[in-house]
A = this chain, B = another copy of it.
């Protein structure tokens, strides 16, 4: 129920969110009728919801010998789920927004106000590109490494700030060679 509520705040259909939550906590794969009964929704609704979840690559199907029904299961690797969600949102929402901004930036500003608007859009464009670019790159690291990086929290960044404040000569701020890790 809570996930249905939260889903709808994130633009995801209530039933779709609930189906996902149900599959996520289920020890075994479920078939359509299990879901119908558990959530009290119609057959058609379950079918559409499952299709939506498959289009997001969030559920997998499974078939069992001697049973005609299709069973559905939600992968349980949380890093993978996170990655999948990020990739799909990138493809469906971020990329179209970037290309819209790009084309808006190509037109000639008709007024001073337009020029300012373009400047703001350019900032936003660059911000989104930087953020999603970084994200895509970092996602390629192993979950283990990512977990460690997160465990270090802001320490990595504070280190950089330290370096910034006491500038050493002939130092490139954007390259980093293997440090000596002590202690």
Contact = CB atoms under 8 A, between A and B. Distances in A.
A90 interface: no
Interface in A147-183: 147-164, 168, 170-183
Interface residues of A, number: 74
Interface stretch (A39-47, A48-56, A60-68, A128-136): A128-136
A140 B153 CA distance: 10
Contact of A97 (B2, B134, B152): B2
A138 B161 CA distance: 12
Given A134-B150, A149-B156, A76 B120 contact: yes
Contacts of A12: 11
Contacts of A173: 148
A141 interface: yes
In the complex, the count of this chain's copies comes to 2
Given A9-B11, A97-B6, A171-B181, A149 B142 contact: no
Contacts of A120: 24-25, 76
Contacts of A155: 176
B145 A133 contact: no
Contacts of A123: 76, 78
Contact of A138 (B26, B112, B157, B171): B157
Nearest to A92: B9
Given A6-B97, A100-B2, A142-B161, A117 B179 contact: no
Kindly list the 4 A-B residue pairs having the minimum CB-CB distance in the complex, ordered from nearest.
A179-B179, A25-B117, A134-B150, A27-B116
Interface of A: 2, 6, 8-12, 24-27, 76, 78-79, 82, 92-93, 96-97, 100, 112-113, 116-117, 120-121, 123-124, 127, 130-131, 133-134, 137-138, 140-142, 144-164, 168, 170-183
